[in-house]
Structures are given as structure tokens and as C-alpha cells.
Amino acid sequence: MKATDIREMNPDELEEELESLERRLFEIRTQAVTEKLEDPSRLKKAKRDIARIKTVIRERQLAHAKEKAAE
């Protein structure tokens, strides 16, 4: 998932996607412990997607706080 795609999402979609990715990351970690992963790079990709979403959420929070402070 690209950052531009994430920035186009509304806050509700971001929260849903974040929950979905965190569930997927848990499943990948569980699979890594119990059996060999078919594609070990999925773990890294999931972590990065989660970080991207959290970054966009935080950027929006800071922008909102800045707007309130300017008022």
C-alpha cells in the first residue's frame, strides 16, 4: 500500500485498515512460530503498512491541533 493511497482514505477507513493489518500481522507472526512462512517478506510489508497508516493518522492529529491553536 502506498502513502498516497493511505492519505486519500477518510479516518474511518484508516482505522478499519489499521485493525485489518494488525490482525494480519498477528496471523503472520503465529504462522512464523508454528510453521515455516511461505513468504517471509510479508512480515516486513505488514509492519511497514501499519507504520504508514499510523504516520498519516498522527499527521492529521497534529494538523488538527495546529488549526485549533491558531484559532
Structural domains in the chain, CATH included, are: 3-70 (1.10.287.310)
Q: Using the Cα atoms of residue 30, residue 36, residue 40 and residue 42 in order, give the sign of their dihedral.
A: negative
Tell me the pTM. Answer: 0.87
User: pLDDT-based confidence at 56, cuts 50/70/90?
Assistant: very high
- Alpha carbons within 13 angstroms on the beta-carbon side of residue 57 total 14
pLDDT for the residue numbered 3: 86
Looking from the CA of 12 toward its CB, the CA atoms found within 13 Å total: 0
**What's the pLDDT band for 38 if we cut at 50, 70, 90?**
confident
